[in-house]
Amino acid sequence: MTSQFQLYINGQFEDGAAQFDSINPATGQVWAQMPEARTDEVNRAVAAASQALQDAAWAGLTASQRGKLLYKLADLIEKAAPQLAQYETSDTGKIIRETSSQIAYVAEYYRYYAGIADKLEGSYLPIDKPDMQAWTIREPVGVIAAIVPWNSQLFLSAVKVGPALAAGCSIVLKASEEGPAPLLAFARLVHEAGFPAGVVNIITGFGPECGAVLSSHLDVAHVAFTGGPETARHIVRNSAENLAKVSLELGGKSPFIVFADADLQSAVNAQVAAIFAATGQSCVAGSRLLVEASIKDEFVQRLVERVQSIKIGLPDDMATEYGPLCTLRQREKIEQVVARSIQQGAKLLAGGKTLERAGYYYPPTILDCSDVAQADCVMTELFGPVLSVVSFSTEAEAIQKANSTPYGLAAGVFTNNLSRAHRMTKAIRSGIVWLNTYRAVSPLAPFGGHGLSGHGREAGSDAVLDYTTTKTVWLRTSDQPIDDPFVMR
């Protein structure tokens, strides 16, 4: 028997306009039925969110009261993390050991924004008029359309939902049609936490009748999107209809740079985590290994040996280190790009052949592209477990190659030279630079990118300000009547 999920609109759970199958990537079999939201459901969700901004049940709460609701939601997420993790593993193929730890940590993001809710302050302006006072107030910007992909969706929604609710906004959250189960289940926690009807609405559906309708809706004030550049272009075009503010957290082709003076074993372990954790399906995946030529052979040999020992298995087994890709379409794309790259001159060092087993598995793959630094696998974001190796001889060459793609989300630099670390940090064009580590995240640390990796920042204290608008208040303090504007003095 397949599991059943529902939309969450205006505080009520309901079936969609239709249903669609959700496939377990580990087996290739249907495991659940998902509700499809179309134009009517989207319009009702936005209307509910818009009305919530007018109702005293939400608009009348103090900032501290909003914070208490977020604290309660955080506690519920922490308690429900094992079940949410199982849903995510079944729906997306991410291994249970990763979904369990990641979702438990998501609660900390809601606690962080719960604490910020009553610390959004305006300011007194030292105005240049003796009989006037002026100050500013931070107010919620309005209805938020949050659109997130299937990977790390509870985390990627937390950095939107948390600050938006802390600021007093309402939200329509669209889960990806590929793996929406965790967010549809998250709706039950929102309901249990006691958020007023319409404040949080959670839907899923397909592009033209769901995503496009939501991102262009005239009552949406801010579209917060995480996903790929092509979909982002559609969203930017759609926002011309409502002139909504748009923030984009997109993909990357992140360089992982290893100098000869680095701790090589530490760098090997970090590189494995950077590209093969989550089966490479991460926007910050360190998919380009730039390694100093003098240590390239030794480093790559260690890397290949470690990759060959990775335990591939069913994602719901805690012993499994590496699971399937989320979709068959993604695997087919990777197969095609790897094949073209080999034709272009890339040398296959590990993986590269689809595993003979049920589900959407593709092995950890390493390609030496030192002689073909412009190969497709080097320049294309694959969103999968493919590492392209390129060597360099000088620091300047490492910088040039690191900045040789239109992306700019993240980078890793491994060196024990402190001065070099500072030079590299300044020279690399990316929103995040990890020094002698990789994939570290925190509610306190903003993340985002440049170029095709998007614009805007998520997480950190300033993220809440993106969900506010500034109101300026003027007060005339003189007891004298205002002069007649048509009497000349």
Q: How far is CA 318 from its chain centroid? A: 25
Pairing mode of beta strands 347-350, 365-368? antiparallel
Residue positions counted in the chain: 489
Would you report the helix, strand and coil content of the chain in percent, each value rounded to 5?
Answer: 40, 25, 35
Sheet of 132-140, strand order:
123-125, 132-140, 468-476
Q: Based on the number of CB atoms within 10 Å of its own CB, is 174 exposed (0-12), middle (13-18) or buried (19 or more)?
A: buried
Token digits of residue 100 = 């369990």
Backbone angles phi, psi at 116, to 5 degrees: -85, -20
Token digits of residue 89 = 């593993």
Of 209, 249, 292, 458, the active-site residue reads: 249
Q: How far is it, in rounded angstroms, from Cα 227 to Cα 90? A: 21
Strand partners, 85: none
Q: How far is it, in rounded angstroms, from Cα 322 to Cα 279? A: 6
* Closest alpha carbon to 279 in 358, 341, 363: 363
Q: Is 249 a catalytic residue?
A: yes
Q: Based on the number of CB atoms within 10 Å of its own CB, is 338 exposed (0-12), middle (13-18) or buried (19 or more)?
A: buried
Token digits of residue 113 = 């924004």
Q: How far is it, in rounded angstroms, from Cα 190 to Cα 196? A: 9
Q: Which residue has the tokens 């999968």?
A: 384
Token digits of residue 358 = 């049920």
Q: Please calculate the CA angle 114-119-120 and round it to the nearest 5 degrees.
A: 105
Q: How far is it, in rounded angstroms, from Cα 207 to Cα 166? A: 29
Q: How many CB atoms lie within 10 A of CB 139?
A: 15
| Helix, strand, or coil (residue 418) | helix
Q: How far is it, in rounded angstroms, from Cα 271 to Cα 261? A: 16
Backbone angles phi, psi at 163, to 5 degrees: -65, -35
Q: What DSSP state is assigned to residue 312?
A: B
Catalytic residues: 249
